[in-house]
């Protein structure tokens, strides 16, 4: 389906097989998505936008034959190489370990005791608790130390994305534009301090340093500063965008995962059992030591994570065919025309997803409801797993699994390339998705390991639905506040 939006035609692609075929195309380009985000959300100067719009060289080491962009100005290749290299290498482990240590410290410092404390909003509690550790793990301590209100302002811009997305003018939402400018200035000031104070000798054993933080942020400064047309303002827009992308989706997802578990005592018990298998205490230290790799391999926790993102993420994944028309099925999409995939339509496709059985009480799980085991294949149960059965009773696609019912269920994502796309798809998927998974599962696990939380009067607050006013902007916030009570775990 194609729609005319202003001067542009947008081609919407849907259907699991068609979307999966789209991701396999080597002619896809993410320039439109990057340019839109940097300009509309993070106020990149017009003179710098020419860098992003003009780079048609691709993300491969060898530039596209039609490209005449010089090597140092190949932004997409340089950025992809740095970010993918970091999150697929030692950087993932080092940043994950820092995040765990900082979050444990943050939880420990909460003014809570053995008595219950009433709180008015679980989502706001999670946001405030996580943003400091997450930002410091990536950017080091200076950004937050110099700007103590950065966390609050960060969640304000996340709320204000609605105004930017809908193109509200500055006079209509002056506070939103003012807050964004302050955040950009905070990031630019941090960059200035880091450049002035950083020395090679300040790099610590895990590659982090006290000024730029992670090796990723340090490397980004090096290659972004060399690109013609990217000045201090443009680089500040870049880094604010990266901080937002890495946290504005993951942290609300932690809230939803906690919220869904708290409503289901049996599920919470299973989750805590898996968490217990992945943590230990050293001596008399009150905080747990987490085996991140083992924790993020647990089947129930992985299924909860995947189902949370399926149900509560809404993205428009934008692509275009940069070097020729794109032929998909019986349609031809002209070169440079926008291609859009709606992640929520994919996530709610009843032709693809398993919804259980209507024949047995409690076994039917519609797609607009959370089903923690949707991504689990149970040995001996051909009707389990994320994919629905065909009319013949066979799976559309089914992973290899044992028929031995004594074996544990297995987590699977097989066959979902065109259906589960909270991180986009193809070779342009979000490169930070591995850290996002760690952040969500580890964050969920630490909170429920160290705190007792109960929803307040759940019969009164009801089942919270996502706020669809933020459709297309990532992980959806809840509609209304979620009251709860909390105490340190005894």
In whole angstroms, what separates CA 298 from the centre of its chain?
19
pLDDT in tens, 353-369: 999 877 676 688 999 99
State the pLDDT confidence band at 324, using cuts at 50, 70 and 90.
confident
* Range with the largest mean pLDDT of 172-186, 344-358, 464-478: 172-186
Residue range 110-114: mean pLDDT, rounded: 92
Q: What is the pLDDT of residue 284?
A: 41
> How many whole angstroms separate alpha carbon 64 and alpha carbon 255?
43
Q: What is the pLDDT of residue 330?
A: 81
pLDDT at 222 over 70: yes
pLDDT at 159 over 90: yes
> How many whole angstroms separate alpha carbon 37 and alpha carbon 247?
15
Helix or strand (DSSP H, E) at 250: helix 250-262
Q: What is the pLDDT of residue 279?
A: 65
Closest-CA residue to 437 (of 42, 81, 33, 88): 88
pLDDT at 397 over 70: no
pLDDT at 385 over 70: yes
Partners of 333 in beta bridges: 326
Backbone angles phi, psi at 294, to 5 degrees: -65, -40
| Pair of tokens at residue 211 | 């000024």
Residue range 164-180: mean pLDDT, rounded: 94
Backbone angles phi, psi at 148, to 5 degrees: -60, -20
pLDDT at 16 over 80: yes
> How many whole angstroms separate alpha carbon 292 and alpha carbon 426?
26
Side-chain-side CA neighbours of residue 115 (13 Å): 3
State the pLDDT confidence band at 3, using cuts at 50, 70 and 90.
low
SS (H, E, C) 76-142: HHHHHHHHHHHHCCHHHHHHHHHHHHHHHHHHHCCCCCCCCEEECCHHHHHHHHHHHHHHHHHHCCH
Long-range contacts of 145-150 (CB under 8 A, 24+ apart): 146/186, 146/189, 146/190, 146/193, 147/186, 147/189, 147/190, 150/183, 150/186
Q: What is the pLDDT of residue 408?
A: 84
| Pair of tokens at residue 376 | 């689990």
| Pair of tokens at residue 448 | 């429920």
pLDDT at 176 over 80: yes
pLDDT in tens, 178-221: 999 999 999 999 999 999 999 999 999 999 999 999 999 999 99
Residue range 56-77: mean pLDDT, rounded: 88
State the pLDDT confidence band at 276, using cuts at 50, 70 and 90.
confident
- Count Cβ neighbours within 10 Å for each residue of 177-197 and write b for 16 or more, e otherwise: bebbebbbebbbbbbeebeee
| Pair of tokens at residue 21 | 């075929």
Q: What is the pLDDT of residue 230?
A: 95
- Weakest mean pLDDT among 166-175, 293-302, 376-385, 450-459: 450-459
Share of the chain above pLDDT 70, in %: 91
Partners of 410 in beta bridges: 377
pTM for the full predicted model: 0.93
Grouping H, G, I as helix, E, B as strand and the rest as coil, residue 4 is strand
pLDDT at 280 over 80: no
Q: Which residues contact 237 (CB under 8 A, 6 or more apart)?
A: 38, 42, 43, 44, 45, 48, 184
pLDDT in tens, 118-138: 999 999 999 999 999 999 999
Closest-CA residue to 71 (of 221, 223, 219, 218): 223
State the pLDDT confidence band at 26, using cuts at 50, 70 and 90.
confident
**Average of per-residue pLDDT values in the chain:** 89
| Pair of tokens at residue 477 | 């916030």
> How many whole angstroms separate alpha carbon 75 and alpha carbon 34?
11
The more confident residue out of 405 and 371 is 371
pLDDT at 412 over 50: yes
Beta strand segments in 294-388, E = 313-321, 326-328, 331-333, 338-342, 376-377
State the pLDDT confidence band at 282, using cuts at 50, 70 and 90.
very low
């Amino acid at each position: 389906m194609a729609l005319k939006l202003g001067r542009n035609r947008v081609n919407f692609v849907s259907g699991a097989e068609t979307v999966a075929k789209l991701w396999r195309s080597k002619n896809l380009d993410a320039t439109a998505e990057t340019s839109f985000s940097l300009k509309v959300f993070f106020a990149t100067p017009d003179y710098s936008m020419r860098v992003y719009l003009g780079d048609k060289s691709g993300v491969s080491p060898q530039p596209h034959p039609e490209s005449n962009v010089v090597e140092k100005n190949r932004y997409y290749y340089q950025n992809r190489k740095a970010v993918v290299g970091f999150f697929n290498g030692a950087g993932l482990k080092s940043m994950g370990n820092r995040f765990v240590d900082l979050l444990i410290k943050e939880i420990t410092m909460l003014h809570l005791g053995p008595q219950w404390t009433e709180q008015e909003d679980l989502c706001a509690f999670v946001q405030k608790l996580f943003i400091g550790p997450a930002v410091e793990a990536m950017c080091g301590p200076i950004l937050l130390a110099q700007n103590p209100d950065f966390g609050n302002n960060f969640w304000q811009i996340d709320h204000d994305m609605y105004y930017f997305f809908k193109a509200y003018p500055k006079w209509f939402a002056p506070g939103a534009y003012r807050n964004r400018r302050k955040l950009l200035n905070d990031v630019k000031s941090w960059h200035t301090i880091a450049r002035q104070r950083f020395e090679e000798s300040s790099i610590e054993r895990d590659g982090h340093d006290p000024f730029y933080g992670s090796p990723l942020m340090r490397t980004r400064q090096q290659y972004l500063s060399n690109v013609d047309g990217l000045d201090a303002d443009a680089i500040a827009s870049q880094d604010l965008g990266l901080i937002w992308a890495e946290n504005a989706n993951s942290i609300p997802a932690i809230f939803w995962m906690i919220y869904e578990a708290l409503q289901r005592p049996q599920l919470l018990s299973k989750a805590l059992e898996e968490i217990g298998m992945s943590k230990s205490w050293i001596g008399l230290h009150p905080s747990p030591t987490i085996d991140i790799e083992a924790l993020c391999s647990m089947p129930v926790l992985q299924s909860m994570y995947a189902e949370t993102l399926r149900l509560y993420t809404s993205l428009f994944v934008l692509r275009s065919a940069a070097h020729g028309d794109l032929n998909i099925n019986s349609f031809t999409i002209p070169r440079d025309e926008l291609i859009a995939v709606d992640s929520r339509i994919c996530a709610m496709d009843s032709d693809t997803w398993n919804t259980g059985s209507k024949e047995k009480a409690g076994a039917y799980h519609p797609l607009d409801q959370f089903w923690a085991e949707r991504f689990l294949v149970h040995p001996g149960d051909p009707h389990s797993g994320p994919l629905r059965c065909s009319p013949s009773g066979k799976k559309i696609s089914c992973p290899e699994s044992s028929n031995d019912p004594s074996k544990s269920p297995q987590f699977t994502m097989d066959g979902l390339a065109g259906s589960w796309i909270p991180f986009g798809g193809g070779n342009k998927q979000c490169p930070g998705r591995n850290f996002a998974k760690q952040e969500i599962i580890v964050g969920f696990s630490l909170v429920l390991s160290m705190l007792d939380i109960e929803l307040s009067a759940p019969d009164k607050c009801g089942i919270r639905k996502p706020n669809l006013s933020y459709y297309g902007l990532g992980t959806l916030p809840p509609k209304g506040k979620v009251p709860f009570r909390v105490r340190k775990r005894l």
